[in-house]
């Protein structure tokens, strides 16, 4: 995943390629042989790492929701005594990193979440709610005039903006990563400021 800086494990390589292929062709449009070929092992060899495609999908979607929540908690813990505006900027930066580096997972979530078992889907939703509530608390600290429901709506709207990255075009057709990240950051802060003016 994008949060790791060391060499990915075989399991992580499989998940990355599965996410890419599922996002490109849909969950049912990809076989285990194709995923295996993408990482240089036989399709049946995948079963040493995962019981099947369903398990890969669950680990991808539950995993990224957990990573976002863990990353946000870490940013909050590291920001003790820091002004709320800087904490909000840090949360925005973390979500932009996800939105730019894990674009296939956004597509996968939009298209395939309903394919998860009920228990996995409920876990994804639970992790996402916790993530949203962390943001709501920070947004209300920056814009104290916002009611809780308004702040929650603003957070969801900003997520919609940031998670639009799969629709920006192929990676090679975008301006540089830094330019795109800065644009997304300005737009996210602008959206929160507009919400805070009410």
pLDDT digits (tens, 9 = 90+) for 163-198: 998 887 765 666 788 999 999 999 999 999 999 886
Residue 126 has pLDDT above 70, yes or no: yes
- Domain definitions of the chain by residue range: 7-50, 52-195
Half-sphere exposure of residue 61: CA atoms within 13 angstroms, side-chain side: 29
Does 2 score more than 50 pLDDT? no
Among candidate residues 192, 74, 70, 104, the one with its CA nearest the CA of residue 140:
192
Looking up tokens 């995993």 gives 63
Instruction: Write down the pLDDT at residue 162.
Output: 96
Condensed to tens digits (0 to 9), the pLDDT of residues 127-163 reads 999 999 999 999 999 999 999 999 999 999 999 999 9
By C-alpha distance, which of 19, 185, 167, 169 is closest to 95? 185
Chain-centroid distance, C-alpha 161: 13
* Contacts for 40 with CB less than 8 Å, ≥ 6 apart: none
Residue 13: pLDDT over 70: yes
pLDDT at residue number 97: 96
CA–CA gap between residue 26 and residue 107 (Å, rounded): 10
Summarised one tens digit per residue, pLDDT across range 29-50 is 999 999 999 999 987 788 889 9
Fold of 7-50: Arc Repressor Mutant, subunit A (1.10.10)
Cβ of 114: how many Cβ atoms within 10 Å? 6
Homologous superfamily (CATH) of 52-195 is Tetracycline Repressor, domain 2 (1.10.357.10)
Half-sphere exposure at residue 53, Cβ-oriented, CA atoms within 13 angstroms: 19
User: Quick check: do 7-50 and 52-195 share a fold?
Assistant: no
């Amino acid at each position: 995943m994008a949060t790791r800086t060391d060499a990915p494990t075989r399991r992580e390589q499989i998940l990355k390629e599965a996410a890419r292929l599922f996002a490109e062709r849909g969950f049912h449009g990809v076989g285990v042989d194709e995923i295996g070929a993408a990482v240089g092992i036989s399709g049946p060899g995948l079963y040493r790492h995962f019981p099947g495609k369903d398990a890969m999908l669950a680990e991808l979607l539950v995993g990224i929701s957990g990573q976002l929540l863990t990353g946000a908690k870490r940013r909050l813990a590291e920001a003790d005594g820091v002004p709320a505006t800087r904490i909000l900027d840090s949360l925005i930066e973390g979500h932009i990193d996800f939105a730019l580096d894990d674009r296939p997972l956004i597509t996968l979530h939009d298209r395939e979440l309903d394919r998860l078992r009920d228990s996995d889907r409920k876990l994804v939703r639970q992790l996402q709610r916790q993530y949203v509530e962390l943001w709501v608390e920070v947004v209300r600290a920056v814009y104290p005039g916002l009611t809780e429901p308004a702040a929650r709506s603003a957070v969801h709207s900003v997520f919609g903006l940031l998670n639009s990255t799969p629709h920006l075009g192929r990676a090679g057709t975008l301006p540089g990563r830094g330019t795109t990240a800065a644009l997304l950051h300005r737009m996210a802060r602008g959206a929160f400021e507009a919400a805070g003016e009410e």
